[in-house]
Amino acid sequence: MNATPEVLAVLDDLLAAAAPDDRGALWQLSQQGRELDANLVRLPPGAEVGEHQEDVLDVLLVVLAGGGRLTPGDGGAPLTLTPTTVTWLPRTSRRALSAGPDGLAYLTVHRRRPGLAIKPAVFASEGGEAACSLDRVCPECGRMSQESAPKYCGECGERFPGR
């Protein structure tokens, strides 16, 4: 494969074009054959992404606009997020995000998740997943949560219905 570099998005333009109350993923990396995933996420003023955990991937969070706070789930001191702040979110770390009075826009970058696969019906002997896990798929961005009963999406911050 002979890949050619290309401009995928101008993030300032995407943020400027979004409605004031738009929340969640405004843009996602979608090229075929990639090894990375990236998402432009925006939270309106005062919005929160409840405490959650990413069990599989390290995530790099880069603040583009606005500000807010990242609260570690281990009881550590909250981290202040301002434009150009780069934060490493190690896998298995618990965290919550809250947007400040100007909202919070950030880019997340991480290794691409392996695709979901349906396995043969040997689940009983191998301890596989239940046949239906749709209650763990974010209705906003389509990400499947590793948590059994997620309240918020770890990728875009959307609240799961009924939780």
Indicate whether 66 pLDDT > 90: yes
* pLDDT at position 122: 45
Dig out the tokens for 130 from the structure: 């239940």
What number is the average pLDDT over the span 70-88? 95
Place of tokens 């991937």: 57
Q: pLDDT digits over 101-129, tens only?
A: 999 999 999 998 766 555 444 444 444 54
- How far, in Å, CA of 148 to CA of 18, rounded? 32
Indicate whether 1 pLDDT > 70: no
Least confident of 37-51, 78-92, 137-151: 137-151
Q: What is the pTM of this model?
A: 0.70
Burial class for 118, CB neighbours closer than 10 Å (0-12, 13-18, 19+): exposed
Strands (E), 46-93: 48-53, 59-72, 79-81, 86-89
Question: Where are the alpha helices (H) located in 7-161, listed in sequence order?
Answer: 11-17, 123-126
CATH topology of domain 11-114: Jelly Rolls (2.60.120)
* pLDDT at position 132: 63
What number is the average pLDDT over the span 43-51? 94
* pLDDT at position 28: 93
* Average pLDDT of the chain, as a whole number: 84
Closest CA to 114 of 30, 27, 56: 56
Q: At residue 76, what is the residue type?
A: G
Question: Where are the alpha helices (H) located in 43-154, listed in sequence order?
Answer: 123-126
Burial class for 35, CB neighbours closer than 10 Å (0-12, 13-18, 19+): exposed
